[in-house]
Structure 1
Amino acid sequence: MTFVVVTGGPGAGKSTFIYGLEAAGFRRTEEAGRAIIQDQVAIGGPALPWLDPVLFAEMMLQWELRSHRAAQDEEGPVFFDRGVPDVVGYLRLEGRPVPAHVDAAAKSFRYHHEVFVAPPWPEIFENDAERRQTLEEASLTYDRVTEAYLDYGYSLVELPRLTVRERVGFVLRHLRRA
């Protein structure tokens, strides 16, 4: 399996790390949540987490399914900035039921059995136009998302709080051993 997920709470350095992997020559996907928020704000759309969390989750699910399909045509490993189980974690965080079709997607659209998780990192956490959560909310997101991956049978590998270059080396060494 060459689909490798990087997940965790907001503001823990996931996307920056994934850009580092891209700079090292690896394929990557775009994070669904941030892109959807940017697009919805630009068009005045309703699929925003602070307006309609269920619609936002549906859009994230569709984004992740499309990313999974598109990655099937890529050579070598593809690093995913979140995956389908993140949608499950988000719905749980929001106190919403997980619809049967979301559960089915998390069971069907699979990734490498080891998922890299970025733990909360207060020293680098920042808010921006798309990231409105507090550090506490980001930590709760981390908890719900990692629980979701465990529930779907994945093993978690915590990313150390290191520089991007050191994180890239850590992941590549880990994948070679696996």
Structure 2
Amino acid sequence: MNSRFVLISGCSGGGKSTLLAELRARGYPVVEEPGRRIITDEIAAGGSALPWADAAAFLRRAIDVALKDMAKAGTHSGWVFFDRGLVDAASALEAFTGEPLLRAVCSAHRYHRRVFMTPPCPEIYVTDSERRHGFEAATAEYRRLMETLPVLGYDVIVLPKSSPSARADFVLATLGAAPQT
């Protein structure tokens, strides 16, 4: 387990990226969500590894990107915050294809034992060119992760529905780091 790598996951549209922008503004390294980077690259290249075109290829690529992200993040000292990551992609691929790879892949590459989850938040949920799935699919994804993470040995902490600043303070306090001002 890499106790410095903190996974922020949860419901799509729940405020993960906004929280991570707040943590970045406070000087912490943040690793962007693999899925959005892949979608941007695939659209630019005219590729098909997209969740709405070839979900299995997209998820396999997300696993590869997440593993590379973890390797690169090792150069940072202190906390490194991940916007989604390996568990999200491996869990989705296993659910989609039935391939039993979740435990093997995720046990060899671990995040901090505490994983922070953004709960479903219909009042802020929006779709965009990269997030085409509806709120029902987003909440199903959230439920799957809430079941999967404890099975993998993670302590799941649901983030309060509060401002990005208050959420960042909560994350840092939970990790035992004094909030930066």
Q: TM-score, normalised by structure 2?
A: 0.92
Please say if 1:163 is aligned against 2:160: no
Give the partner amino acid of 2:93: L
Alignment of 1:86-101 (within 5 A): 86-94=88-96, 96-100=97-101
**Alignment correspondent of 1:83:** 85
What CA distance in whole angstroms lies between the structure 2 residues aligned with 1:62 and 1:88?
10
- Provide the aligned length of Structure 1 versus Structure 2: 175
* Contact 1:16 1:164 survives alignment (8 Å): yes
* RMSD, aligned CA: 1.3
**Pair 1:140–1:54, CA change in 2 (3 A):** same
SS in 1 for 2:157: strand
| 128-137 vs 80-89, which moves further | 80-89
CA deviations 1:67-89 (Å, max 9, x no partner) are 10011110110001112111132
What CA distance in whole angstroms lies between the structure 2 residues aligned with 1:14 and 1:58?
22
Give the partner amino acid of 2:133: Q
* Contact 2:11 2:138 survives alignment (8 Å): yes
- Structure 1 residues not aligned, in runs of 5+: none
Q: Aligned residues: percent identity?
A: 39
Deviation at 1:146, TM superposition (A): 2.3
- Structure 2 residues not aligned, in runs of 5+: none
- Which stretches of structure 1, 4 residues or longer, exceed 3 Å deviation after superposition? none
Give the partner amino acid of 1:144: R
* Contact 2:30 2:82 survives alignment (8 Å): yes
SS in 1 for 2:176: helix
Deviation at 1:92, TM superposition (A): 4.5
What CA distance in whole angstroms lies between the structure 2 residues aligned with 1:85 and 1:150?
11
Q: TM-score, normalised by structure 1?
A: 0.94
Give the partner amino acid of 1:120: P
What CA distance in whole angstroms lies between the structure 2 residues aligned with 1:150 and 1:98?
20
Question: Which of 15, 18, 25 lines up with 1:16 in the alignment?
Answer: 18
Give the partner amino acid of 1:98: E
**Alignment correspondent of 2:152:** 152
**Alignment correspondent of 1:131:** 131
What CA distance in whole angstroms lies between the structure 1 residues aligned with 2:103 and 2:39?
23
Question: Which of 42, 54, 57 lines up with 1:55 in the alignment?
Answer: 57
**Alignment correspondent of 1:39:** 41
* Contact 1:7 1:117 survives alignment (8 Å): yes
* Contact 1:92 1:144 survives alignment (8 Å): no
SS in 2 for 1:64: helix
* Contact 1:118 1:159 survives alignment (8 Å): yes
* Contact 1:88 1:98 survives alignment (8 Å): no
Give the partner amino acid of 1:79: F
